[in-house]
Amino acid sequence: MFLLIPGSLVLGFLFSAELHRFVPYVPYLFAFVTLTMAIGCGVKQLAAVLRRPGVMVWTFVLTHVLSPLIAYGIGSLIFGSDSPYVVGLVLFTIIPLGVSTVLWVGMSGGSVPLMLAMVVIDSALSPFVVPAGLHLLFHTTVEADTMQMITDLLIIIVLPTVIGVGLHQLSGGRIQAAVQPYAAPLSKLCFVAVVALNAAAIAPQASALKGDLITIIPIAILLVGLCYAVGFFGAIPYRSREIQTTVSYASGMRNISLGTVLALGYFSPLAAVPVVLSILIQQPLATVHHYVLQKLYKPKAGAEQEGQVR
């Protein structure tokens, strides 16, 4: 994945004209990734997560309160509080958690049930959270297509999760071992395709804004890196690798499609630059984060997953 994700981004940009017609298939590719993760979850696991919402609430505080304040502070310090770049940096931190976190959390030893629950709840709240957050900091009104957002949420997360959990229950948990040799590599290929297609969708806008890239790239890298760090260090009190892994990915990654739509549809091109860049940067940094986590938490033979969701 460390090579495939940056490589797929490059291919998406280089062949954007050829790949652009396949962009409408992204939700269905994402749905397969979610289904692959969900078949490893039972009703009891999801119920345990929902009965103890403390981790979810704390994650939302880290991602949608602390991270936007950090983005606002960095942007104001460098560009001035009135700069459209600051709006873009803050917008990246306010948009809901990314669906792709489910795959990274599953690969890195985090809690897939917790991540699925957080993505669903955060996405459902986003029509209220995004406009409110931007209005509080910038007195800016944003109107989002709520019905389209709900439709995408149903296709990408809710339905695949219901089907996956249902299959898990009907098979007594045996289905995961049966399909894993085929489903796991196929889901990774689907995810790589998603990254390439999103790069292809963003390529025309990124190309038009290339004059601003040199200015904002280092700041976007810093912000995304800080978002991962906020989740990683913010979850230390739980003393659980599983929770720390989950919260750090949740904090570092945002919804690709929604972020791009909001940035390009409701703000100036200058405000869109940090969002588009941050969305592209979050995937390569996810591979770096995965590598760091594997070094920090070397798996032990026969060791059980540590920690419970508090």
CATH number of the domain residue 201 falls in: 1.20.1530.20
Residue at 157 is within a domain: yes
Q: Taking 60 as the threshold, does the pLDDT of residue 139 lie above it?
A: yes
Percent of the chain at pLDDT exceeding 70: 84
d(CA 102, CA 178): 20
What pLDDT does residue 153 have? 64
Q: Taking 60 as the threshold, does the pLDDT of residue 51 lie above it?
A: yes
From residue 267, alpha-carbon distances to 84, 149, 254, 257, 261 in Å are 8, 19, 18, 15, 10
What pLDDT does residue 246 have? 93
Residue at 305 is within a domain: no
How many residues does the structure list for the chain? 310
Q: Taking 70 as the threshold, does the pLDDT of residue 266 lie above it?
A: no
Residue at 301 is within a domain: no
Start-end of H helices in the chain: 4-14, 16-19, 26-38, 43-51, 54-61, 67-79, 84-94, 101-108, 112-138, 146-153, 159-170, 175-208, 213-234, 241-252, 256-266, 269-296
The predicted model scores a pTM of 0.75
Q: Taking 90 as the threshold, does the pLDDT of residue 248 lie above it?
A: yes
96 vs 37, more confident: 96
Are the C-beta atoms of residues 62 and 237 closer than 8 Å to each other?
no
What pLDDT does residue 306 have? 43
- Could you tell me the end-to-end alpha-carbon distance of the chain, in angstroms, rounded to an integer? 31
Residue at 219 is within a domain: yes
Pairs from 13-17 (Cβ < 8 Å, separation ≥ 24): 13/199, 13/200, 13/203, 13/206, 15/200, 16/199, 16/200, 16/201, 16/203, 16/204
- CA dihedral sign, ordered 301, 48, 46, 42: positive
d(CA 101, CA 105): 6
Residue at 102 is within a domain: yes
Q: Taking 60 as the threshold, does the pLDDT of residue 280 lie above it?
A: yes
Residue at 56 is within a domain: yes
Average pLDDT of 53-62?
92
**How many domains, the chain?**
1
Domain span at residue 55 reads 4-295
What pLDDT does residue 216 have? 82
What pLDDT does residue 308 have? 47
From residue 214, alpha-carbon distances to 41, 274, 277 in Å are 44, 11, 11
Q: Taking 50 as the threshold, does the pLDDT of residue 250 lie above it?
A: yes
Are the C-beta atoms of residues 130 and 94 closer than 8 Å to each other?
yes
User: What is the average pLDDT value for the chain, to the nearest integer?
Assistant: 80
